[in-house]
Each structure stands twice: as C-alpha cells, then as structure tokens.
C-alpha cells in the first residue's frame, strides 16, 4: 500500500500537476523528498551538485516551515518523517527495482528548479503543514 500511495503521488508530481502540488501537504512533500533522497543514498547514486543543493535548501525550508506552523510537536513530526526513510529502505527490493527507478524519477522532479520555486511560494503562506493530501 505504501508504494502504491507514493507511486500515485509521484505520478502526479512527475506529470507536473499544479493541482496535485497545490493540494499536497508540506509534510507529505517533505516526506517524499527525504524518502527518495534516502533511497538514492542507500543505492549510492549521487544527485548532481545543483540538485543536491536544491534538495538541501528545500529540506531546510520545509523543516523551518514545519517548526513554525505545526500545531503540535513539530520535532516529533520531523522525527516521524525521518523514520519513513528507514522503512522505505527496508522495503526497497533492490537498487535495480522499478521502485528505485521511480524514486530516481521522483527526486529529479522534486529537485527541479521550477518545483523549488513552487515550494518556496507555497511556504510563504502559513498553515498547518499537514493540511492537504498525501496521495
């Protein structure tokens, strides 16, 4: 079920659906960013420098947003999302699997300059970071 959920959301992101992006919660997009990056690290696939830099900026901005806007326990929320990295790696069948190919495509989309710009615009509006969908 987890892979199906991630797959459906990733497909929406890969298709560039502004509606899907607008309705996706910050917490969900933050989780996807971290999970896919963790899978890349696990499989020893490095992002190009400009994408790694975008990943680091987006991760930091989303963490700052979560800390500023979470109604309860922002640190617990961030830690819970971090635990998803371990579960994703444990569920990864291999670095040659279709799941990993999907992760590579998704992290490319998530770290695209246009997505960073869209995320930055989204983060300008204070709200519950869990508001929106995750799939």
The residues spanned by each domain of the chain are 25-122
* SS3 (DSSP) at 134: coil
What is the distance between the alpha carbons of residues 124 and 31, in angstroms, rounded to a whole number?
19
Task: Give whole-number Cα distances, 23 to 12, 82, 100, in Å.
Answer: 11, 22, 25
DSSP 19-35: HHHHHB-HHHHHHHHHH
* SS3 (DSSP) at 72: coil
Q: What is the DSSP letter of 70?
A: -
What is the distance between the alpha carbons of residues 51 and 56, in angstroms, rounded to a whole number?
9
pTM above 0.85, yes or no: no
**51 neighbors 108 (Cβ within 8 angstroms):** yes
* pLDDT tens digits in sequence order for the chain, 135 residues long: 345 445 444 544 444 444 345 578 999 999 999 999 999 999 999 999 999 999 999 999 999 999 999 988 899 989 988 888 888 888 888 899 998 999 999 999 999 999 999 999 999 999 999 998 886
Q: Given phi > 0 = left and psi -120 to 50 = alpha, else beta, which region is 77? A: alpha
């Amino acid at each position: 079920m987890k892979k199906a959920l991630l797959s459906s959301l990733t497909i929406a992101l890969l298709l560039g659906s502004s509606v899907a992006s607008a309705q996706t919660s910050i917490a969900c997009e933050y989780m996807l960013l971290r999970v896919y990056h963790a899978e890349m690290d696990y499989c020893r696939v490095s992002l190009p420098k400009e994408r790694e830099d975008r990943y680091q900026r987006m991760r930091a901005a989303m963490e700052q947003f979560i800390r500023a806007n979470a109604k309860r326990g922002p640190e617990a929320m961030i830690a819970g999302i971090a635990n998803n990295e371990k579960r994703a790696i444990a569920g990864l069948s291999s670095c040659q699997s279709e799941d990993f190919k999907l992760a590579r495509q998704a992290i490319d989309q998530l770290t695209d300059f246009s997505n960073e710009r869209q995320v930055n615009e989204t983060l300008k509006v204070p709200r519950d970071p869990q508001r929106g969908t995750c799939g």
